[in-house]
Structure 1
Amino acid sequence: MAARQAYGELFKLRIESARALLRPELQRAPASAGTLLVADCIDFTELLIRQDAGRYEAVVAAQDRRLEALEKSAERGPLRDYARAEIRLHQAAAQVAFQHEVQGAWSLRQAYQLMQATSQRYPGFLPARKTLGIMQFFIGSLPEGYHWFLKLLGLPGSVALGGQNLRAAAQRPHDFQPEAQIILALVQETYYKKADEALRLADRLVAQQPDNLLFSYLLISLNKRQHRTDAALAAYRARPTGPAYLPVAYLHHMAADLLLYQGQYAASRRANQQFLQQYQGVHYRKDAAFKLYLAAWLGGDAPAAEQYRRQISAPGRTVVEEDTYAQRFYEGKLPLNRVLTRARFQLDGGYYREALATLRGFTATASQPLRDRLEDPYRRARAYHGLGRLDSARLFYTRTMALGSKTPYYFAPQSALQMGYLCQTDGQLNLARLYFQQVLDSPKHEYKNSTDAKAKVALAGLGR
């Protein structure tokens, strides 16, 4: 009971309350599988959200001790086997996040094998199918370039099997059903364009638990990804706050983007500065500096813009695509076009009519950089797509692909991806396959990993 209550507090991101509830149980039954699993979930969640490298070694050492205790435990059954696999998976994720990729790959292999064995031994134990499904789906969606490595590790991913296992775990009650429901909803929204289901789930969860910061985070993120800026900012401002909650610095980075979309440049700068002050990790720092640059530049503050532009070049990781894009901007030294940049953020915010009005201020000429001549039709396509004017969207997507299929920019591959989705919706499945394959065949660009993953999942759904 104490472990279940502690897990409930953890799910609300009330870390210290979760630890306090679990402490007596750890003293009473230090080798209990459920207790050790929740203790690890607490440490792992705090490590990944805070991104505190100073805590990494201690967390991994604690995971090793928990795994050893479970190995020696007299407890038997599905929960013990599940806890071993889940803790090993947490360790893999921590190792990769903190730049120990080789150890992380080996831990992932162990976690996969343990979870697969648990699922086979206890086919009715739904938590195992939840985590096995996650691993199967995401390994199966990785781009072709990773396949040799996955084959070497013996990790057979499968988008179809992963989806089946996730759905089974999401549809029937068990202690970890909310996890399965959230992950399945995110998969459906990201890879299958089924955003409405995900938004309904997030709305329902927040209504049921308005004091749950994780659910609020989910609602903010989904609304942002679906270009519903007003709703996302409303959820951000209504989120639960206070010292009981684990500080989630990334929330301020998301808010900075949302304010940028609205043209609230000073407020966007304040939110990103708050993010950088609170954040202890190495990812998204270049992206934050880039967004600070853009807010200052669009807001007419040239001295601050130049200061933020130089900040992009500070030492840091470029693993996440947003940081890669920021670094590429800095190194490219090709100035951005103010009209196209403003339109881009209006589109990201879901302000499609405003974006089209802004784009009327841009006229393509042969003397302009190719990137700008590609971005113009792509932005128009996205605006028409957002307004449901699909014939116009197809026209401008096609124009973008014709002009930029061999260029190192994301506009043509993204156009091909969207055309694939449109053809899929219209029942033109063979044509959809051609467009999705065109995405995979595109040259390297800023968002190739994520764009290729979406195309690969789409092809798998079409029975490639």
Structure 2
Amino acid sequence: MARPPQDSSAQQPAAGTTNFASTTALSPVCRQAYTELFKLRVESARALLQPELNAQPTGAAPLLVADCIDFTDLMIAQDAGRYEAVVAAQDRRLELLEKSAARGALRDYARAEIRLHQAAVQVAFQHEVQGAWSLRQAYQQMQATAQRYPDFLPARKTLGMLQFFIGSLPEGYRWFLKLLGLPGSVEAGLQNLRAAAQRPNDFQSEAQVILALVQETYYKKPDAAVQLVTRLAAQQPDNLLFSYLVISLNKRQHHTAAALAAYRTRPAGAAYLPVPYLHHMAADLLLYQGQYAASRRENQQFLQQYRGIHYRKDAAFKLYLAAWLAGDAPAADQYRRQIGAAGRTELEEDKYAQRFYDDQVPLNRLLTRARLQIDGGYYREALSTLRGFAAGPGTLLRDQLEDPYRRARAYQGLGRLDSARLFYSRTVALAGKAPYYFGPQAALQLGYLCQADGQPNLARVYFQKVLDSPRHEYKNSTDAKAKVALAGLPPAKVR
């Protein structure tokens, strides 16, 4: 959320300016428009901003906020028909900023931020080569801005985000980053994000949210993230983005009831940008609870409203599960065929769905139900379900691996860590080099448990096992977490 700097005494004047704060902060109108955008009230944001755009057609602040509006609208709608117009508008804004007589931190930041938006849009709509070079330009420009204006915190927010995520990419991407000349650093990224999150600036709330998500995803610190977004949503009950984050984070932490409550009380109406993905999340939550008909309705609504190419296979797979578990064989068969026909497989969820379709190996009903119960945080129910499963000589290796892995997940959720370690260890030992995610995920969790127990050397062994594992559907995200965890361990002692 945009907010005015409150600590201008800590900021130093840039060369050629009389007041650093007055030339780097958003104007009141731009700040108000950005606040509306942060609530996902896009048309209101556009209407508020237009007079300032008319009055200052080359102004850095209105051009930046205008681009944030278009970028957010396109990325949420995923409407490929608007892609060319948005990229053309970004090019015009960059030309205006280049020709502008104004110079300073905000102008330089706006150039880099708009270029970064363009990179994200190009990659999202399958223009990867252009997106890669736009990313390179954005990174270099943002790095230069942060170096020239070290007290301009918005630049440190974006640079920190780029540094962290580039630094956390698994080894499979190193050639790509080397080709582009993009240095990443997990530690430097965290330092810059913390600076932007802790000190007042126009984008402080944005920095706080990004930092909290990093801590939740990579450092097993979910409580602070959940508390932050819950507080922000309570402060602004009309903010759909904050409600979205409350739903998403509670879902990720297996707090199904809290996530569904937030979904049902989210702000809604014509003033808000439609967010079809909310229905996809709700469908998962209802699937965890065994509300199969309701889950199907939510995913059908998602597919009807959504114009993008991602998550379609995942939605079809979840529709299959809802029909199959409810005993509706004709519908299940229809949804299974839909997996092969819909969408792309860049995202891990879609890759998993496509593998299920390609393998043509039936799922085990008990293991599938236990998986959904665990994802929903219903750990005791999952253990009860798993008691009905018994591996035998003809049991598929996939199911032999999934059984101890699910038991470990359930025991970990209940805080019974000795039992969790036992079953994670069984999974790792049995997995070997099998091309399933159960072994690498079990090794990752064992690494985290050893790290929490003050056993860094053993943790290092498990995190390295993750990186050494063969390809599986979730390898990119699992490897990234292991890489960040390894970087956070103390140096190995040499004997």
Query: Which band: TM-score by shorter chain?
Result: over 0.9
1: distance between equivalents of 2:401 and 2:459? 22
AA aligned to 2:60 is: A
Aligned twin of 2:205: 178
2: distance between equivalents of 1:440 and 1:98? 29
Aligned twin of 2:15: none
AA aligned to 2:94 is: L
Deviation at 1:375, TM superposition (A): 0.3
1:35 aligns with one of 59, 62, 70: 62
| Backbone CA RMSD of aligned residues | 0.6
AA aligned to 1:235 is: A
TM-score calculated relative to the size of structure 1: 0.99
Are the counterparts in 2 of residues 290 and 312 from structure 1 also a CA contact under 8 Å?
yes
Aligned twin of 1:399: 426
Are the counterparts in 2 of residues 112 and 132 from structure 1 also a CA contact under 8 Å?
yes
Deviation at 1:315, TM superposition (A): 4.5
Deviation at 1:149, TM superposition (A): 1.2
Are the counterparts in 1 of residues 142 and 155 from structure 2 also a CA contact under 8 Å?
yes
Aligned twin of 1:92: 119
AA aligned to 1:227 is: H
Aligned twin of 2:214: 187
**Displacement over 2 Å in runs of 4+:** none
1:139-150 aligned at under 5 Å gives the runs 139-150=166-177
AA aligned to 2:100 is: S
**CA offsets, 1:219-260, max 9 Å, x none?**
000000000000000000010000000000000000000000
Aligned twin of 1:424: 451
Deviation at 1:316, TM superposition (A): 2.4
1:197 aligns with one of 214, 224, 231: 224
Q: Are residues 1:447 and 2:478 paired?
A: no
AA aligned to 2:404 is: P
Aligned twin of 1:55: 82
**CA offsets, 1:120-140, max 9 Å, x none?**
000000000000000000001
2: distance between equivalents of 1:255 and 1:395? 33
Structure 1: tracts of 5 or more residues without a match: none
AA aligned to 2:261 is: A
AA aligned to 2:475 is: K
2: distance between equivalents of 1:366 and 1:95? 50
Are the counterparts in 1 of residues 456 and 490 from structure 2 also a CA contact under 8 Å?
no
1:39-438 aligned at under 5 Å gives the runs 39-438=66-465
Aligned twin of 1:16: 43
Sequence identity of aligned pairs in percent?
81
Are the counterparts in 2 of residues 353 and 383 from structure 1 also a CA contact under 8 Å?
yes
1:3 aligns with one of 9, 30, 33: 30
2: distance between equivalents of 1:267 and 1:20? 37
2: distance between equivalents of 1:341 and 1:197? 31
2: distance between equivalents of 1:164 and 1:23? 36
Structure 2: tracts of 5 or more residues without a match: 1-27
TM-score calculated relative to the size of structure 2: 0.93
Deviation at 1:421, TM superposition (A): 0.3
**CA offsets, 1:35-56, max 9 Å, x none?**
0000000000000000000000
Deviation at 1:186, TM superposition (A): 0.2
Counterpart secondary structure, 2:346: coil
**CA offsets, 1:127-163, max 9 Å, x none?**
0000000000000111101101101111000111101
AA aligned to 1:106 is: W
Deviation at 1:463, TM superposition (A): 4.6
Equivalent residue pairs, number: 464
AA aligned to 2:457 is: N
Aligned twin of 2:19: none
1: distance between equivalents of 2:432 and 2:263? 38
Are the counterparts in 2 of residues 405 and 413 from structure 1 also a CA contact under 8 Å?
no
